[in-house]
Amino acid sequence: MAYCSLKNNFMALTEEQKKSAEQFYREMLDLLEQSGVPYLLGGGFALCHYTGITRDTKDLDIFCLPQDYPKILKFFGEQPGYETELHDVRWIAKVLKGDHYMDIIFSSVNNICRVDEAWFEHAAEGTFLDHKVKFMPAEELLWSKCFVQNRERYDGADVNHLILKWGDKLDWKRLLSRIYPHWHLLLSHIIMFQFVYPYDFPRLIPRWLFDELIENAKEQYELPPQHERVCRGPIIDNTQYSIDVKEWDYKAATIITV
């Protein structure tokens, strides 16, 4: 059952904006049901479902399988008053109407957190605007937020709050399998959680997980020398780490396009 209410997410909006946004969301949900394409509700409303944290929002984030986003675009493109946009073929498309829009997400900007069937198998059921919906799993929400560490947006607080409010219900083994081979990011967030919430750390972070990640970190000293100077920075911020690849002779872990 969701912790949040739509009303709370509109706290800073005018009454007219609230009504407009709510009408847009209801239309989106009605049309998504009509389309018959499976989707998951994500973004701020998924975070609210798991943590109770509310935010101002005028958009809706849905997640779908990569092979399904063209079906959603085609369906909405046939509806009067709607515009569609393939914003980035690697991970996101959009449906727009007036001042509002819906993001259709099927991967991540670094193409690591790609939506697959497991997202739907482990989704959480809930209600949003009187519609029965499925929220993206808490593990996938946390996994994807671990990579958001750029200058304009850092989701570390969201990760901390997810662990604080949902850590005792997280499938940590599944999360760990998701985030490998980028386990360093999970360890860094766990260390930060220990700093922020020293009281809650022992009860929410499994000892086996912490020990395994720390042992992984120690073993880095035992690895043979690397032949390539690799910078993984572009995985978390493609802009700020572009200098490493373009000027400092590092090999990027992802393609630099900026």
Q: Give residue-wise pLDDT tens across range 149-177.
A: 998 999 999 999 999 999 999 999 999 99
What domains are defined for the chain? 1-136 (3.30.460.40), 141-223 (no CATH), 225-252 (no CATH)
Phi, psi of 237 (to 5 degrees): -155, 100
Q: How far apart are CA 20 and CA 99, in angstroms?
A: 9
pTM here? Answer: 0.91
Residues in the chain: 258
Q: By percentage, how much of the chain surpasses pLDDT 70?
A: 93
20: confidence class by pLDDT, cuts 50, 70, 90 = confident
Mean pLDDT for the stretch of residues 220-242: 93
Contact status, residue 89 vs residue 41, Cβ threshold 8 Å: no
Identify the helix (H) or strand (E) that includes residue 171.
Answer: none
pLDDT at 8 over 60: no
Which residues have C-beta within 8 Å of that of residue 62, sequence separation ≥ 6? 28, 32, 39, 40, 41, 42, 102, 103, 104, 105
Q: DSSP letters of 107-143?
A: S-TTS-S---HHHHHTPEEEEETTEEEEEPPHHHHHH
Average pLDDT on 4-17 reads: 59
- What are the CA-CA distances from residue 80 to residues 9, 17, 138 (Å)? 28, 22, 35
pLDDT value for 2: 44
DSSP 19-41: HHHHHHHHHHHHHHHHHT---EE
pLDDT at residue 140 in the model: 98
Predicted confidence (pLDDT) at residue 255 exceeds the cutoff of 70: no
Which of 75-82's residues contact partners 24+ apart within 8 Å by CB, and which partners? 75/31, 75/34, 75/35, 75/37, 76/31, 76/35, 79/31
Q: Amino acid letter at 76?
A: F
Average pLDDT over residues 180-189: 97
Strand 124-128 with 131-135, pairing: antiparallel
pLDDT in tens, 194-227: 999 999 999 999 999 999 999 999 999 999 998 9
For residue 3, name the pLDDT band (cuts at 50, 70, 90).
Answer: very low
Interhelix angle for 138-145 vs 156-166, to 10°? Answer: 150
- The C-alpha atoms of residue 61 and residue 178 are separated, in whole angstroms, by 21
Neighbour-count burial for 163-187, b at 16+ CB within 10 Å, e otherwise: bbbbbeebebeebbebbeebbebbb
The pLDDT assigned to 16 comes to 77
- Tokens representing residue 161 in the block: 């709050």
- pLDDT greater than 90 at residue 134: yes
